Structure 1
Amino acid sequence: MRSVCTLICVFLCGCIYHLAVQGREMSKGFALIADLYTGGVAGSTGGVLCGGAAMLLRWLCGKTLAFVICVFFAVMTLLGAMNITIPSIIRAIANRPKDDYVEEADEDYIDPATAVVNNIANKQIARRRQRREQQAVKNAPEETPPETPKQLPPEKQPRSTPKQEKTNASPSQDDVKQVPGKGAAFMERIDGDISAPLSGTSEYVKDETPPIPEPLPARPAAAKPVRVEGEDMGEKLPSKMPEFVPNAPIPPAPKLDEGKVKPAQEAKSGKVTAKEAARSARQVAAEIDQAQAVQQPDYCFPPLDLLKRPVRAGTDGTEEMRENSRRLNETLASFNIDAHIINVTRGPSVTRYEVELDKGVRLNKVTGCADDIALSLGASGVRIAAVPGKISVVGIEVPNRAVTTVSLREVIDSNEFAKAKSKTSVALGKSIDGSCIVGNIAKMPHLLIAGTTGSGKSVCMNSIIISLLYKAGPDDVKLIMVDPKMVELGIYNGIPHLLIPVVTDPKKAAGSLQWAVTEMLRRYRMMSDMGVRDLESYNSIVLSEEDGQKLPQVVIIIDELADLMMVAAKEVEDSICRIAQMGRAAGMHLIIATQRPSANVITGLMKANIPSRIAFSVASAMESRIILDTMGAEKLVGKGDMLYAPIGCGKPLRVQGCFVTDTEVEAVAGYVKDNYTADYSQQVLDEIEKKAQQTGKKPASVSDPDPTDEELEGDEMLPAAVDVILETGQASVSMLQRRLKLGYARAARIVDEMEEKGIVGPFQGSKPRAILITKEQWASMKGGQTEQMGFDDLDSVPDELM
């Protein structure tokens, strides 16, 4: 706006110049343009533009009025270029400084605004003084407040503080008798002013501020201890104030009982210093906390300019849709399927042909011809599914020859994303009909993403993370990222949303999941104490209290689950299942991605507790069933083409995922890092390190938990196994498997346990193990008569077994 005003002002100045200097006759017609140009170069006219506008305005209004109009608007545009408005000029004139000279007749007149401001200021000063005096009386109850000395002549007036110079009341006779107490109180009052210089700055105000008189009852109360102290010392106070003599020698101080007075003064001064030190420490701590709170800037959401604008495809698919419709009708007719196309919808990656089936036509008759339809249309594959919300209508989704990229910016900039109230809203992509798909992690509440390499899985993860950076601040959402591949999520190290740096060690990742379980249980205990059922209710109660701090939602993002399952399958599966079962109310959410959707990676227990799924292109229909519990993902075309099945959705929705480049990810992450400092939780890091040390297969250490009593007692089938070997006279694993119907692993463990207890001998290759006890010894061992078999017991072993 200022630039526009500047250009207009220059243009009007040219018009004014033309009106002022042009006096000769100008040519007519097109020769006028050449004449104005020549005169503009010579300086005798305003040029073609300014001169032409000035001549037109002079022809309409006359020279004088045209000159006035040009000057007026030139001044207005000049003020606009300097960012000066008419109201600001009026306020500046009204608030201009005025001369302090006031006529004698108006000496008693006080401006109402000045009177109000002065009255408020005086009240504030009075309150500060009163608080300071109350604090002084509370901290030093034995001090005598300084009395107001009599105004002495200039040559006899003692040196006093600014507080004493203001007082004008004359001291009474009783007050004069307390001169030694006054001197001590006066010096301590000076020390107090020196130790707290800031608190006394309000004393040095203008003389027009009315002084606040000290309360009269406080004087005798504060002076009483001083008189009693003097009487106890047995000294008479002077009845008259001695005259002040300049340069007179200072008389020696009266000898006091040092054993009584000095310890009291030292204790008193030490006590006051401790209080002041503690008070100052609290004030400094509060100021530091306040300064830190002020210095920590608010989260600055990244601008949309960091994301690239969508590039519209230049190809028109009308001819392609017309040709495919003709071929599709011919194919259906060739298979004697009574159906006809009623609608065609072109999406970013596929086109859906809606086919209405006649009565009596079964759906599986159409789905059985999927490969033949794809062959007739020249497509790699088609997906046939019922259209939700329409009766007897089947959608045949055919891949487009040219895929239109869906930019992340156009989804984040859409009304759907702007209207989403949840802080965990994420941009996923666009459906076939062109509507933006926005997911809510809090309602999912957990998400499983699967797809082959290059299908768009990592791009989808980046879109989810970038959406969270655009939607929520670090106080609302915290992230834990696990990246075993070490190259996908490392760019996000340093953003304020991270609780800990991006985890790349699989064992440490298992420890992070175990910490999340501990944090979830801690949140449940806090919500139980508050009597609430979810995190939102808990935060609303905490924020209503003073100094309340809300709990953020925690989103745990795992980029590759298969690597974690290979290292610590049991710990990872148990932690994921517990978080998936109980994490929703505590604000703990999982986003798990894997490129190997096999049954040993995505177990049935995980699938049962993670309701929302996203399936990209997979290799087989079996993998599609593992992810979605239905076929269809094997027919996807890749490049972000996915099936989105949120919780509560009957059929998966075909969506073209958002595309975000590595450059855009770096730009957004860099902007967030530059404008906000990451604050990792050291407590969380320590707990994760501790749990990571206990993860996986490792030898026992001091930090490991002690074995339980059941582990020490051994297998419960051990007595039955001993009875069997004593009955048969054969100690072999295969015999225990047959007789006790045990598995090989358990039977082998029982035999090893017998060897440890000295019941059977060691392994001897092809020879059978030796049985080292008899039935009588075993009966006594079971009865508790013999706790441990010694070497003497070997004498009773039969010779044929030795």
Structure 2
Amino acid sequence: MFKKMPGDEPHRIVSTTPDTAVVFKPAVIETPAILTFLFYGLRGLIALVRTLYRHPIACAVPVTLGLTWTRYGWPYAASLLGFIVLALASWAFLHRPSFNRWAGLRLLAWWRLMSTYRRHWQSVMDVSGLAKRVHGRGYLPRLVKVTCDGWADRVTVKMLKGQAVKDWTDRTDNLAHGFGVTSCRISMIKGGRLLLVFPRTDPLASPIPALPIPGIPTVGPVEIGKQEDGSPLKLKVHGTHVLIAGATGAGKGSFLWSTIRGLLPAMMAGLVEVWALDPKLMELSFGRELFQGRYAAGPADCAELLDEAVSVMQKRAARFSGHRRNHVATVEDPFVLVLVDEVAFLTAYQQDKQLRQRISAALATLATQGRSVGVGVMAALQDPRKEVMNIRNLFPDKIALRLDESEQVAMVLGDGARDRGAHADYISPVPELGAGVAYMRLETSPDPIRVRAAYVSDSDIRDMVELFGRAA
């Protein structure tokens, strides 16, 4: 039989006999009051200095008003407040960029910190399960700082010891709705620290008209649209391969035609050749004059064109061997971009088995060996399943437009992309809202980027054909 010793604290049984129990009562170590006072006083002083450094204007204004009120009375303080408000409003009206840089965004960051994040931090952490309780003591992830730019709040967080990034990426929906926004993106700054991005506005809400044709020939990166933060979207096509996946009506044509539009001056200068495979006879046929005979629609013709691209690649590789490692576009050796619209028609739905294997082998050869010698592939498809496109992992850069299922996001962008905020299955099916909107994952970064490609209309394509024809 076990016996318990009297006392307020729980005891740990060390050894027992049938009639007795030997117990160990843990020693209670009390921290001296002076050390506790110094610890919390130093921590408070550090927090005060950090706040003064990060939000100097937000701190200086109330302190100045308080001192003025104390010394001269409230009328002077009210007059000073009016002068400060008028000065800030005039500054914002006369030169908004400098105001946002030095005052506006800092004040907004302070306001968002106090009114949203610090106010709701503990409750959101508790409900989402990111706060922990161990042996009766609560542990809360630390809110380090909040910064703002024109479209989003960026919140730096210090994780609890023992937490992993996946603990946070699994709760992006909880965090977004907890702080009153529509989405949350998470990326790791360094060990133990995360950056949470909460968008406040959406620069991609409206369709983007076709961008002006560049005045200078270039092989890229070519500007094709806009990123979520409002900055230009420049897509690299030379030295890589690009896979585009999206449901019907998602806007794959916006990426294809915006890329052609950005390369048009280089095509006119002879630095770029676009070879088009259009098995549906819909998307690329409208501007077939741009491809100078490098256009194929039937499966057999597509196979012939791909074999020719492989031949060009192999001949260049033989000439470049031992002399150069990277391709530089010239008139003698132009950059060749192979565009394939709805590649599944050729690799999965083609009934002729030998033709299907021939096309798949040619695409795989180009995807594994082509980019170093100036032969790139941009392929678009609707169904991203492995049995439909078994070489999708050979494309370094991937773009996911609207998809039908959440599982398809990982098929296109890779494991963990949706946890990092790539909700391609949430993109609106309404063309005005969602056509051309996508998440892009580049070879150089695991974090997906939300983007929107410009819409190139039929009249824009006609103008491109006419311009190209005049130049020829």
Interval containing the TM-score (normalised by the shorter chain):
0.5 to 0.7
- Return 5+ residue gaps in structure 1 as ranges: 1-316, 540-548, 678-802
Quickly say closer, same or farther: Cα 1:374–1:559, change in 2 above 3 A: same
Quickly say closer, same or farther: Cα 1:389–1:372, change in 2 above 3 A: closer
Pairs within 5 Å for 1:512-551: 512-527=305-320, 532-533=323-324, 536=327, 550-551=332-333
Quickly say closer, same or farther: Cα 1:613–1:368, change in 2 above 3 A: closer
For the residues of structure 1 that align with 2:273 and 2:307, how far apart are their CA atoms? 17
TM-score by length of 1: 0.37
- Tell me what 2:53 maps to: none
Question: C-alpha displacement at 1:524, in angstroms?
Answer: 3.0
- Tell me what 2:301 maps to: 508
Question: C-alpha displacement at 1:600, in angstroms?
Answer: 0.9
Describe the superposition over 1:759-780 as per-residue Cα deviations: whole angstroms up to 9, x where unpaired: xxxxxxxxxxxxxxxxxxxxxx
Quickly say closer, same or farther: Cα 1:643–1:477, change in 2 above 3 A: same
- Tell me what 1:557 maps to: 339
Quickly say closer, same or farther: Cα 1:487–1:366, change in 2 above 3 A: same
- Tell me what 2:405 maps to: 620
- Tell me what 2:158 maps to: 357
Does the CA-based 8 Å contact 1:328-1:373 persist in structure 2? no
Question: Which has more radius of gyration?
Answer: 1
Amino acid of the structure 1 residue aligned with 2:427: V
2:394 equivalent to 1:609 = yes
Quickly say closer, same or farther: Cα 1:483–1:447, change in 2 above 3 A: same
- Tell me what 2:24 maps to: none
For the residues of structure 1 that align with 2:204 and 2:328, how far apart are their CA atoms? 45
- Tell me what 1:436 maps to: 232
For the residues of structure 2 that align with 1:627 and 1:609, how far apart are their CA atoms? 12
Question: C-alpha displacement at 1:376, in angstroms?
Answer: 4.3
Does the CA-based 8 Å contact 1:385-1:396 persist in structure 2? yes
Q: Secondary structure in 2 aligned to 1:494?
A: helix
Larger RCO (CA under 8 A, 6+ residues apart): 2
Pairs within 5 Å for 1:259-274: none
Question: C-alpha displacement at 1:672, in angstroms?
Answer: 2.0
Quickly say closer, same or farther: Cα 1:389–1:425, change in 2 above 3 A: farther
Identity of aligned residues (%): 19
- Tell me what 1:486 maps to: 281
Question: C-alpha displacement at 1:597, in angstroms?
Answer: 0.4
Question: C-alpha displacement at 1:482, in angstroms?
Answer: 1.3
Pairs within 5 Å for 1:151-170: none
Does the CA-based 8 Å contact 2:219-2:271 persist in structure 1? yes
Quickly say closer, same or farther: Cα 1:504–1:378, change in 2 above 3 A: farther
Question: C-alpha displacement at 1:433, in angstroms?
Answer: 3.5
Amino acid of the structure 2 residue aligned with 1:570: Q
Pairs within 5 Å for 1:703-742: none
Question: C-alpha displacement at 1:591, in angstroms?
Answer: 0.4
Amino acid of the structure 1 residue aligned with 2:236: N
Question: C-alpha displacement at 1:368, in angstroms?
Answer: 3.1
1:338 aligned to which of 120, 125, 141 = 141
Does the CA-based 8 Å contact 1:399-1:637 persist in structure 2? no
Quickly say closer, same or farther: Cα 1:637–1:485, change in 2 above 3 A: same
Does the CA-based 8 Å contact 1:619-1:634 persist in structure 2? no
Describe the superposition over 1:709-764 as per-residue Cα deviations: whole angstroms up to 9, x where unpaired: xxxxxxxxxxxxxxxxxxxxxxxxxxxxxxxxxxxxxxxxxxxxxxxxxxxxxxxx
Pairs within 5 Å for 1:209-288: none
Q: Secondary structure in 1 aligned to 2:363?
A: helix
Question: C-alpha displacement at 1:468, in angstroms?
Answer: 0.6
Question: C-alpha displacement at 1:628, in angstroms?
Answer: 1.8
Quickly say closer, same or farther: Cα 1:587–1:661, change in 2 above 3 A: closer
Quickly say closer, same or farther: Cα 1:488–1:399, change in 2 above 3 A: farther
Does the CA-based 8 Å contact 2:218-2:265 persist in structure 1? no
2:194 aligned to which of 393, 397, 406 = 393
Pairs within 5 Å for 1:316-715: 329=121, 330-332=123-125, 334-335=127-128, 336=131, 337-340=140-143, 342-347=146-151, 351=152, 353-360=154-161, 362-376=164-178, 382-386=183-187, 392-398=193-199, 400=201, 403-405=204-206, 407=208, 422-443=218-239, 445-495=240-290, 498-500=291-293, 502-527=295-320, 532-533=323-324, 536=327, 550-565=332-347, 566-567=349-350, 568-603=355-390, 606-630=391-415, 631-632=417-418, 633-635=422-424, 637=427, 639=434, 640-647=436-443, 649-663=444-458, 665-677=460-472
Quickly say closer, same or farther: Cα 1:389–1:616, change in 2 above 3 A: farther
Which structure shows the higher strand fraction?
A: 2
For the residues of structure 2 that align with 1:580 and 1:478, how far apart are their CA atoms? 17
Quickly say closer, same or farther: Cα 1:389–1:369, change in 2 above 3 A: closer
Question: C-alpha displacement at 1:663, in angstroms?
Answer: 4.5
Describe the superposition over 1:383-418 as per-residue Cα deviations: whole angstroms up to 9, x where unpaired: 4321557971332445847844474666877xxx97
Amino acid of the structure 1 residue aligned with 2:124: T
**Alpha carbon RMSD of aligned pairs, Å?**
3.6
Does the CA-based 8 Å contact 1:424-1:477 persist in structure 2? no
Question: C-alpha displacement at 1:641, in angstroms?
Answer: 3.2
Describe the superposition over 1:444-468 as per-residue Cα deviations: whole angstroms up to 9, x where unpaired: x211111222333221111111111
Question: C-alpha displacement at 1:484, in angstroms?
Answer: 2.0
For the residues of structure 1 that align with 2:337 and 2:359, how far apart are their CA atoms? 16
Does the CA-based 8 Å contact 1:451-1:618 persist in structure 2? yes
Quickly say closer, same or farther: Cα 1:651–1:401, change in 2 above 3 A: closer
Amino acid of the structure 1 residue aligned with 2:324: R
Does the CA-based 8 Å contact 1:352-1:432 persist in structure 2? no
Quickly say closer, same or farther: Cα 1:608–1:596, change in 2 above 3 A: closer
Does the CA-based 8 Å contact 2:342-2:382 persist in structure 1? yes
Does the CA-based 8 Å contact 1:427-1:658 persist in structure 2? no
Amino acid of the structure 1 residue aligned with 2:466: Y
Does the CA-based 8 Å contact 1:462-1:665 persist in structure 2? no
Q: Secondary structure in 2 aligned to 1:481?
A: strand
For the residues of structure 1 that align with 2:329 and 2:272, how far apart are their CA atoms? 15
Question: C-alpha displacement at 1:358, in angstroms?
Answer: 4.7
Does the CA-based 8 Å contact 2:211-2:224 persist in structure 1? no
Quickly say closer, same or farther: Cα 1:390–1:654, change in 2 above 3 A: farther
Query: Size of the alignment, in residue pairs?
Result: 334
TM-score by length of 2: 0.61
Question: C-alpha displacement at 1:515, in angstroms?
Answer: 1.8
For the residues of structure 1 that align with 2:369 and 2:227, how far apart are their CA atoms? 31
For the residues of structure 2 that align with 1:485 and 1:324, how far apart are their CA atoms? 51
Question: C-alpha displacement at 1:557, in angstroms?
Answer: 0.3
For the residues of structure 2 that align with 1:388 and 1:442, how far apart are their CA atoms? 30
- Return 5+ residue gaps in structure 2 as ranges: 1-104, 132-139, 429-433
Which structure shows the higher helix fraction?
A: 1
